[in-house]
Structure 1
C-alpha cells in the first residue's frame, strides 16, 4: 500500500472526512465474518463531467473488479437464505429510478455502476475514473463496494455484471 494511503488512514479518525467539495472514504476488507482491516482510501470529488473516483487501495487480487455504489451506508454482514454474506447490509446497487437494469456507468440502468476497478499486479488500485451520471451529493449516505471479479455491465449471463462476492467496502458519510 502506498505511503499516502497509510498517512491518510492514520489521520482519519472517522470512516470519512470531508474537505470542501470532496470526501475521503476509508475502505476495509470484508468477509462473512464482518468488517476487516483498512486496505486503502477513495477520494470522491465533483467535476463538470461527473463524479471523480480516485482510489488508493492495496491488497486486492490483480485484475478487474466490479465497483459499485450501493444503497445503504453499511458494510456489515447480513443473512440471505440462512447464510452470512459479506457486505450484504449495504443493500443493492444505487438505483433511484428503480430501473432494475445493469448497463454500466454510461448506460440507462441503475446509477450505482462505476467503471471497473483495475488492480495492478502488486495488488494496488490507483487509477482515477469518472462516473458521468453521478455527483458527490448522489453518493453521500451510501456505500462503495468492490467485488471479487470483473463486471460485464449486463445482467446476462449472470445478474449485476457477474462480479461475484463483495470483498471490500466503505461508507460514504
Structure 2
C-alpha cells in the first residue's frame, strides 16, 4: 500500500511541475482610453532552452515592438503602475535578452504583421515561468535596439499593451 501511495505522490508532483511550467497571460491595450480592450494572450512555457513566449495578439500596429517583463503585477495608469524592467540584480542597464549583465526582463522584440497580429514565438534564454510570475508583460509602441543609447531602454517609447502574469 505504501508503494502505491509513494507512486501517487510522485505522479502528483510531476503533474504540478507540468502545470507550473506554463502560464497564459491575457493582454489589454493601455494607451489612452483603450485600457480595457482585450487583444489576446501570450502563452509562456518553460523549455530546456529558456522561456518560450507564444503570442496570440491582434489589434497592434505593424512592425517591431519593445517587449519586456516589468517589475510590478499591475497595468493601471496606462501601464505605468508596472514600474520598470525586471532587474533583480540591479544592473541598471538595458542590454537585451542575451546579455547577462543587463535587465533580466529584457525580451526579444515582438514582431507584428501587416494585419496587426503577433504570432511569432520568442525565446528568452535567461527566464523561466517561475521568474516572471507576479510581474507584468509589456508591449511598447516602438522597437528595441537592446541598448540605452541613443535613447534609454531601447527606445521603445510609450507602453502600448500590458498583461499581469499570475
TM-score in terms of structure 2 length: 0.86
Match of 1:90 in 2: 82
Structure-1 separation of matches of 2:82 and 2:137: 9
Asked if 1:139 is matched to 2:132, the reply is: yes
Task: Please report how far the alpha carbon of residue 32 of structure 1 lies from its aligned counterpart in structure 2 after TM superposition.
Answer: 3.8
| Aligned with residue 126 of structure 1, among 88, 107, 119 | 119
Map of 1:1-173 to 2, 5 A cutoff? 19-33=19-33, 35-77=35-77, 86-107=78-99, 108-173=101-166
CA contact (8 A) 1:34 1:76 kept: no
Task: Please report how far the alpha carbon of residue 31 of structure 1 lies from its aligned counterpart in structure 2 after TM superposition.
Answer: 1.9
Structure 1's unaligned 5+ residue stretches are 1-17, 78-85
CA contact (8 A) 2:20 2:129 kept: no
Superposed CA RMSD: 1.3
1:32-69 residue CA offsets vs partner (Å, 9 max, x unmatched): 44722100100001011100101000010000000000
SS at match of 1:60: coil
SS at match of 2:35: strand
Match of 2:5 in 1: none
Task: Please report how far the alpha carbon of residue 151 of structure 1 lies from its aligned counterpart in structure 2 after TM superposition.
Answer: 0.3
Structure-1 separation of matches of 2:148 and 2:95: 8
For these two proteins, the number of residue pairs brought into alignment is: 148
Structure 2's unaligned 5+ residue stretches are 1-17
Give the greater-gyration-radius structure (CA).
2
TM-score in terms of structure 1 length: 0.83
The structure where helix makes up a greater share of residues is 2
SS at match of 1:41: strand
